[in-house]
Structure 1
């Protein structure tokens, strides 16, 4: 019986993806432990530290072994770590060569190397999904490059913008996350082989060469120094996941508010029954956006936990290391789910351009007050233009009249702008979109490789 949303039959695909669960499954993790043990044996055989026949026998045993997970669980609970139980079973399967399994290594060497392999694979999935999401946003920004809508600050209509410009803002953060992942990988895809206190005393001369060969076998980088208690790399990984999910939550928040009945500007893709209410037949709740927001809140807590878990005592930690075992898989599951929800939601987002245009008129033209002020300022001075337009705005609100009509009755504004037709043209929201279009173009043109 499942005890968390991550393995629940009901919730697991809302809080994770099958692909990410496979990377962090028990079978995959034990497989990584065995992979590291075999790579270590091959590296040591290449140096002549153990017989080549022994390394071959260990590798052959790894191909055929079917780990007894019940036994491994019981031993892990007793020992406190899973590596000794893995070594027991692999050694037994390797027969006479079993004595060479785990030669000169310590538990954390194997576990950290396995974690590095998992993280590398998981970041590859995250990077792929970010690129796919980026492509979806590029298409959406291009399609709506010139679609006018109300720009909002402090939840109030501010100035006109375009929906494409809004999407390009989302796009820019997603693109930066691609860069972050690329920069991060070389810092975290590192092997670990340093021995009990990080000195490789169990190997002695040739230890660093053996470390290099192990990393080569695993296609991981060789660290400049033991990172048993220097956990900034893994903390950075989870922090980047926090940034990614934070950006997804910003997108989700915009979509949720814009999809409310009062806004009605966008809607998540329609799927029969999706987002339905048990009692209100008319409901179409923004489920994907809600999951993106919830996931970000959970990952944020994992970021804090990883920052706390960086504080290790001396050369091997007493407790903080264990926090990573829970945090890293869950943070990746949540991030994978968030990206999956985002790709689904944005690839089929319904955009109501007519409603966006209608909402521009909700304030009877007040949204272009700045446009009139700036147009009149060169003739009458900014402050005087501001005061006249300010008073006109108050009148428009009180009398529920169009700002353009009120301004056309003001001879100073009419004179400053060059006639009533010019006043009305200046009051058109489409005429005050600034550089929204060129900014969209620039955002797309400047995307990372």
Structure 2
């Protein structure tokens, strides 16, 4: 259901928040320990005093704080951006003309396409997908910065001046875009039902297969029978898949017409919906 889909989105971004908090903690390190990190000309108490003022933790370092911390932070930014892209891609698919089950917000007077006035392109979702690629690319640069020569070289500096401001600002923008999309998107329940019916009941093939095997029919025999009716329903038209199953006397002998109808009941997929919501913290 669309509700389960949104619950999974909520759950994924709860994990994303936890990762961001941990990444922020790991990178919040201060260092005033001299050119090679040995406190040769400065007492460690000065570093401790300054770090306390800045709410940082003093850490062991060379001339610079080791860049594995920075790389880990960049990977988390990329991972959160990837999660946003995942859901933006889902909304792009749902808004396709062939699906049409959901659509991102579209304000009055907004242009969907400069060339084709009828279009409502998912511009927010597409923008999220594009910007997420930049954040991922920056994460690779952060990994390249981990290996520095001896106590440190300066090769990481130029890259970090670009990648960290860009990645943090971009992720903030991506998340704002995604929030607006999630809060403002519209859903078309009638289209969802129409799409379900368009499958001619084929989505029930697994349930029917399992019902027959539980009733004692060998799996191979059950599979072949289900496949025969599924292919006929899809390719030949006429009766849909559940009707063909009910009209098969051999299958009816095994679990009865009522059992076949229950196996093809769409509500079977929603009977544990509340459990899924609870697991997602809802």
**TM-score, normalisation: structure 1:** 0.60
- Per the alignment, residue 70 of structure 2 pairs with 234
Say which of 251, 256, 273 aligns to 2:92: 256
| Residue ranges of structure 1 left out of the alignment (5+ in a row) | 1-161
- Per the alignment, residue 153 of structure 2 pairs with 317
Q: Is the 8 A contact 2:31 2:61 kept in 1?
A: no
**Alpha-carbon distance between aligned partners in 2 of 1:201 and 1:430, rounded to the nearest angstrom:** 72
Q: Is the 8 A contact 2:35 2:62 kept in 1?
A: no
* Aligned residue runs from structure 1 range 90-129, under 5 A: none
**Alpha-carbon distance between aligned partners in 2 of 1:282 and 1:331, rounded to the nearest angstrom:** 35
Say which of 12, 19, 40 aligns to 1:173: 12
Matched, 1:218 2:218: no
**Alpha-carbon distance between aligned partners in 1 of 2:36 and 2:106, rounded to the nearest angstrom:** 57
Q: How far does residue 226 in structure 1 lie from its aligned partner after superposition?
A: 4.4
**Alpha-carbon distance between aligned partners in 2 of 1:410 and 1:311, rounded to the nearest angstrom:** 68
- Per the alignment, residue 333 of structure 1 pairs with 169
Q: Is the 8 A contact 1:192 1:226 kept in 2?
A: no
Change (3 A) 1:351 1:192: same
* Aligned residue runs from structure 1 range 65-76, under 5 A: none
**Alpha-carbon distance between aligned partners in 1 of 2:106 and 2:154, rounded to the nearest angstrom:** 51
**Alpha-carbon distance between aligned partners in 1 of 2:118 and 2:109, rounded to the nearest angstrom:** 11
Change (3 A) 1:441 1:431: same
Matched, 1:400 2:216: no
- Per the alignment, residue 44 of structure 2 pairs with 208
How much is the aligned-residue C-alpha RMSD, in angstroms? 1.7
Change (3 A) 1:393 1:274: same
Secondary structure of 1:361's aligned partner:
helix
Q: How far does residue 318 in structure 1 lie from its aligned partner after superposition?
A: 3.2
| Residue ranges of structure 2 left out of the alignment (5+ in a row) | none
Rg bigger for which structure?
Answer: 1
Say which of 80, 99, 114 aligns to 1:244: 80
**Alpha-carbon distance between aligned partners in 1 of 2:197 and 2:23, rounded to the nearest angstrom:** 47
Say which of 219, 223, 233 aligns to 1:382: 219
Q: How far does residue 258 in structure 1 lie from its aligned partner after superposition?
A: 0.7
- Per the alignment, residue 287 of structure 1 pairs with 123
Q: How far does residue 229 in structure 1 lie from its aligned partner after superposition?
A: 5.4
Change (3 A) 1:197 1:431: closer
- Per the alignment, residue 281 of structure 2 pairs with 444
Q: How far does residue 265 in structure 1 lie from its aligned partner after superposition?
A: 0.4
- Per the alignment, residue 372 of structure 1 pairs with 208
Q: Is the 8 A contact 1:275 1:287 kept in 2?
A: no
Q: How far does residue 275 in structure 1 lie from its aligned partner after superposition?
A: 5.0
Moved more, 371-380 or 235-244: 371-380
Q: How far does residue 363 in structure 1 lie from its aligned partner after superposition?
A: 1.6
* Aligned residue runs from structure 1 range 295-306, under 5 A: 295-306=131-142
- What does the per-residue CA deviation read over 1:171-204, in whole Å, with 9 as the maximum and x for residues that have no partner? 222111111122222211111212222222222x
Say which of 321, 346, 353 aligns to 2:189: 353
Q: Is the 8 A contact 1:368 1:432 kept in 2?
A: no
Moved more, 348-357 or 329-338: 348-357
Aligned pairs, how many?
280
